[in-house]
Structure 1
Amino acid sequence: IGNPAFRNNLRYSPQRAYEDENGETRIFDEMWTGDWWWNMQVSYLSRATIAPVIIASDKTQLSNFSGDKSAWPVYLTIGNIEKSTHRSPSARATVLIGYIPVTKLDCFSELKRKTQGQQIFHDCMKSLLQPLVNAGYSGVKMACADGFVRRVFPILAAYVADHPEQCLAVCCLENRCPRCVVEANKRGRPEFSTPRDSASTLEAMKDAVVGDSEDFTHLGLRPNRPFWEDLPYCDIFSCFTPDLLHQLHKGVFKDHVVKWATKCLEGGADEIDRRFRAMPRGSNLRHFQKGISLISQWTGTEYKNMEKVFLGVLAGPAEPGLIRVVHATLNFIYYAHFESHTLESLRKLDAAWVAFHGNLQYFVDKGVRKDRDNLNIPKLHSMLHYINSIISRGSADGFSTESPERLHIDFAKNAYRATNKRNYLKQMTKWLERQDACFQFSAYLQWTVKGYNSELEGSLEVKEDNEDGVVEDDEDGDEDVGEQAVFLGYSVAKLPAYRNVPITDLINNYGADDIITQLTTFLQNSPLTSRSARAPILTSTLSMYKCVTVRLPPAPQVTSSVTKDVVRARPFVAARGSVPAVAAQFDTVLARESAEEDGIEHPLDGLKVCQVRVIFGLPEDYGSFPHPM
């Protein structure tokens, strides 16, 4: 909270954000826009500065080829910092506070081994978070990034973890929900249950010690002493935030809906692979040239790219019932991914959840699942809690487990590689302390010395490899782009890729069959056309560009920055010697049928799906046309 580098990215009090001037459409995005911080400020600490503590824990494998060496890092950040900052590894807004020991506990009997391992987790977490107890009640004076000294009260507000670790943290069985008391055999139903609360849970644990285990069994608890029992103002059950990676992308979508949809499709996995291979390529879209069944290492990128095309893969042979349930699933995933929510978007998220459950019966009817009670899956049930979590803590993208998994590279895997692989945890700790000291000194120099650039920053950005036949198309980034394009909303290469291309080639190689008719009509109606211009004929030539990059205005639901959309139009290029052939690429776009805006009430009104066949520049003989077409 005192890092001057975060001065413009920090908030010290909750805010109510609205989309309109009348304060009718509320926005939920950053943590300070949610109800939790507001309620905590009003109910307990009205004049204090709260630092909502966000912790994340995730066990990771250190060795791939020999041994079974693992690490269990625990990370910490605060909700005062903008989510885009604490999600960025290079910003170092999320810090490592310790490792939980990973041990087999061979000294215990098999019956006690699991319980003792769970208790070790709680004892270690209690030790790591012990400073929050007194600080949460009494506050600590801290020098903040804006130069003021405030009494800050750090309160545990969010815990980022996957389902097994959530259950471990709240001391409940893994076949139960860590947020509510729904029974194990009712998790597949679209019904709300009573939220868990700390007081009744701790009471049930105490009663179980003296032999009264009725509530203990009903709540599905484990016999552990929880680390959170002494933390001030902490409701650990509501701290668990949506896990977009494991719950939605990997869980609901890949492990369940894709698997069930494959069984419903004639031809099964072979047909799904064939249709993935046949999908057209797109810019910034990975192409599964070997299908999906042979992919051994999945990442969030693969899941997201599958979601973009999966409805298209199913289109045709899939029955309407299958299309409806997949459509509802994807709607829920995309709404859950919004970086900024309003009550309207939350209503649509809820409608997608209702539609998802309303169409799940299709899998039962097809025999993929035995009955509705066979859908008692934790990740399906977790979707029920998304809306309450977003209203309470802010949008889900600020709490994804993708962030700690990315941090494993810097704080676990790279640290392990720097050791001699014996007694590695102590060596990792020493190496990380040195790295942190170097980073802090470098950050200080960067803050004080104008123009200083650290050599450490480049090492923090890791490019994702393409694996298992997953191909990401490039964007023709090697072309020289004119700077003037920044102000025009698009950019093209300064020079065309192909000059003096006859219109006959455009018809034969580009598929622009009606280019003469359309170009003639355009020239007749354009005020820029030269009076001496002749109508285009088959032997007329044009200059061709490979692509155009369109700069789209920021959409707060998706991103706060400008989005680049690359539109390509290039023909098939035959193989030459050792250089392989290049497939033709003609991208699709949404274009307005008319330049007139009369009668347009919705942003999608008047739009038509088109395929771009040529991107060309007109010769000066036709007139003064400053932009490509």
Structure 2
Amino acid sequence: MYIRFHHQKKKKKKKKIIFILIYLYYFIEQNTGKWWKITQESLPTGSKLLSIILYSDATTTDTLGKSQLHPIYITLGNIPIWRRNKQDVKQLLGYLAILEAANKDLVRDTFHKSLRHLLEPIILLKDGIDLFINNENTWFYPRVSTIIADWPEAASFYLVYKSSNSNLPCYSCLVKRENLANIDLSVNDVILRTYDEMRKHFENDTQRSVYIESVHNFFLGFTISMQKNINIYLATVPDRMHHLDLRLFRYQIIFTCDILKLQHVNDNKLVEEIDHRLAAIPCFPGIKIFSNGLQSIARLTASEYRSLMKVMIFVIDNLYDENNNEVDNFVNNDDLTKLYEYWNEMYILSRYEEFSESDLEKFNICIKILDAIHRWVRMFVKAFKFVSPSNLKLPKLHLWVYHIIDSIRSYGAINGYTTETYESLHKYFVKIPYRISNKKDVEPQLLRTVMNPAKTPRTCKFSARLFEFSLQDANTFFNEKKDSVDNKMQTGFARFISCLDSYLDLLDGFTIIGET
């Protein structure tokens, strides 16, 4: 009886697991997102989709920040996320033109002409391409899936007003600036910028009403077939590093210090206590030591901010007492600690390699019901609205809360379009080549520099072992091979034997402890 019951129970459990696996749709790789499915269905039968991911980010070339370059990188969405986030899977596509001109319209027009020059081979491609993969030809249609960019670069692609003080500062939707800190907006309140609507405004000369520049946006001149190759209003996605690491978490720390100064009589006493607690943290693998506390917060990198995330909740905990001074809008220490707890929950969720529908529901609760992310946003607004100079009218806060979910559903996990490894490429493709140039006609010199090293590893890479021998038989082996190798290798053999003899003589000079 027990055996039969146990077997039935095990069978039901197995069916339940299978049902769950079928029911849950995992948004892991890009090919699990909605964009991939829709785009693949639009391709001719027998062809496959080649997903192109672009990353655009202007960077400084010198320590003073007086000179800038705007590299654009390329990778493929067909490559798995774990492999795609390696440096060698990304390639420099070129440098976009940066003009130091008083006429800003000329600067914008030149930027879009540069984009057109780079993307035209993809845009005008009609019949796809054949690629030789796994010893066979495969018919691919290349499509630009995502463009990863920070806020200023994304605004340049869209040609919307870059100022966060404009009435419609968000490049993705038409939400007014006064509603940027409103976390209770409905779906109807968030009207997305679409290709058709923006084109109508441009053709009717009403582009100022939606705060787009008067310069011609070459993306708006696409035919229906060209839009299939790249739709700029769907392709640009929020980037976690620039939105969370370098902005929202930085704001959270700065506003925390401002709150502590306002709520207590001794203005800097608690801020100094934070510095003291940070400096007292012992060394631990993977955590940076902030010996100077938060004094250099303006110069912290994204990696250093991530180290701060790991410890700030412990630094804030039990930092101060209740509202003994009867300060208005007082933020309790427990609430401030919970704020950092909710932040960590949201950040960990954003780093998931895969998202099920239940995880995405957690993200949606950020707008609709009480969830960890929703609580963080509400507490963030409640705690810091009175200390923020802009009353938390932060475009990146709005963009993260209202637009990240659509990006996950369309393009998979956020880890598939992050910029951590792209930023490290600036060192090899921009900063080092710039420093070894003569600072005149920089772009051609940089291209020559980055192209030449790319050929070197291929010629110097060892495909197999040339020789294999034991040290005891080294003399015999070299004597046998000396007539069949060139002069350089014979010289190498001789030097190897000389060094080996010196090493053995050195060993003979040592006295082994305990030997009589």
Give the TM-score band, short-chain normalised: 0.7 to 0.9
- What are the equivalent positions in structure 2 for 1:16-31 lying under 5 Å apart? 22-31=21-30
> How far apart are 1:331 and its partner, in Å?
1.9
Aligned partner letter, 2:127: S
TM-score, structure 1 as length reference: 0.61
Larger RCO: 1 or 2 (CA < 8 Å, sep 6+)? 2
2:387 equivalent to 1:368: yes
User: CA–CA distance in 2 between the matches of 1:197 and 1:296?
Assistant: 36
2:127 equivalent to 1:138: yes
Residues 364-423 of structure 1, C-alpha deviations (whole Å, 9 max, x = no match): 57x3147xx822211101112112111110111121122221111111112223322222
Corresponding residue number in structure 1 for 2:407: 389
> How far apart are 1:242 and its partner, in Å?
2.7
- What are the equivalent positions in structure 2 for 1:339-354 lying under 5 Å apart? 339-350=353-364, 351-354=371-374
Aligned partner letter, 2:393: N
Seen in structure 2, the aligned counterparts of structure 1 residues 205 and 55 have a Cα distance that, compared at 3 Å, is same
- The share of aligned pairs that are identical, in percent, is 22
Q: Is the 8 A contact 1:336 1:349 kept in 2?
A: no
**Equivalent in 254, 259, 263 of residue 259 of structure 1:** 254
> How far apart are 1:346 and its partner, in Å?
2.2
| Structure 1 residue matching 2:54: 3-state secondary structure | strand
Seen in structure 2, the aligned counterparts of structure 1 residues 159 and 39 have a Cα distance that, compared at 3 Å, is same
**Equivalent in 88, 94, 97 of residue 98 of structure 1:** 94
Aligned partner letter, 1:217: R
User: CA–CA distance in 2 between the matches of 1:340 and 1:451?
Assistant: 41
Corresponding residue number in structure 2 for 1:87: 85
2:116 equivalent to 1:118: no
User: CA–CA distance in 2 between the matches of 1:368 and 1:326?
Assistant: 17
User: CA–CA distance in 1 between the matches of 2:351 and 2:86?
Assistant: 17
> How far apart are 1:143 and its partner, in Å?
1.6
User: CA–CA distance in 2 between the matches of 1:334 and 1:252?
Assistant: 15
> How far apart are 1:79 and its partner, in Å?
0.4
Any stretches of 5+ residues in structure 1 without a counterpart?
Answer: 1-17, 453-629
Seen in structure 2, the aligned counterparts of structure 1 residues 22 and 328 have a Cα distance that, compared at 3 Å, is closer
> How far apart are 1:21 and its partner, in Å?
6.7
Corresponding residue number in structure 2 for 1:596: none
Seen in structure 2, the aligned counterparts of structure 1 residues 268 and 207 have a Cα distance that, compared at 3 Å, is farther
Aligned residue pairs, count = 410
Greater helix proportion: 2
Corresponding residue number in structure 2 for 1:425: 443
2:157 equivalent to 1:169: yes
Q: Is the 8 A contact 1:76 1:94 kept in 2?
A: yes
User: CA–CA distance in 2 between the matches of 1:152 and 1:224?
Assistant: 34
Any stretches of 5+ residues in structure 2 without a counterpart?
Answer: 1-16, 321-331, 365-370, 467-516
> How far apart are 1:450 and its partner, in Å?
3.1
User: CA–CA distance in 1 between the matches of 2:248 and 2:297?
Assistant: 18
Residues 223-256 of structure 1, C-alpha deviations (whole Å, 9 max, x = no match): 12224333431321221223111100111101x1
Seen in structure 2, the aligned counterparts of structure 1 residues 26 and 19 have a Cα distance that, compared at 3 Å, is farther
Seen in structure 2, the aligned counterparts of structure 1 residues 361 and 417 have a Cα distance that, compared at 3 Å, is closer
| Structure 2 residue matching 1:126: 3-state secondary structure | helix
Seen in structure 2, the aligned counterparts of structure 1 residues 346 and 168 have a Cα distance that, compared at 3 Å, is same
Residues 270-293 of structure 1, C-alpha deviations (whole Å, 9 max, x = no match): 232122123344332222122121
Seen in structure 2, the aligned counterparts of structure 1 residues 197 and 45 have a Cα distance that, compared at 3 Å, is farther
Q: Is the 8 A contact 1:41 1:47 kept in 2?
A: no
- What are the equivalent positions in structure 2 for 1:379-458 lying under 5 Å apart? 379-383=396-400, 384-441=402-459, 449-450=463-464
Seen in structure 2, the aligned counterparts of structure 1 residues 324 and 21 have a Cα distance that, compared at 3 Å, is closer
Seen in structure 2, the aligned counterparts of structure 1 residues 200 and 302 have a Cα distance that, compared at 3 Å, is same
2:199 equivalent to 1:181: no
Seen in structure 2, the aligned counterparts of structure 1 residues 28 and 42 have a Cα distance that, compared at 3 Å, is same
Seen in structure 2, the aligned counterparts of structure 1 residues 283 and 338 have a Cα distance that, compared at 3 Å, is same
Residues 18-64 of structure 1, C-alpha deviations (whole Å, 9 max, x = no match): 99774112211211121110111124555421111111111111122
Corresponding residue number in structure 2 for 1:506: none
Corresponding residue number in structure 2 for 1:235: 231
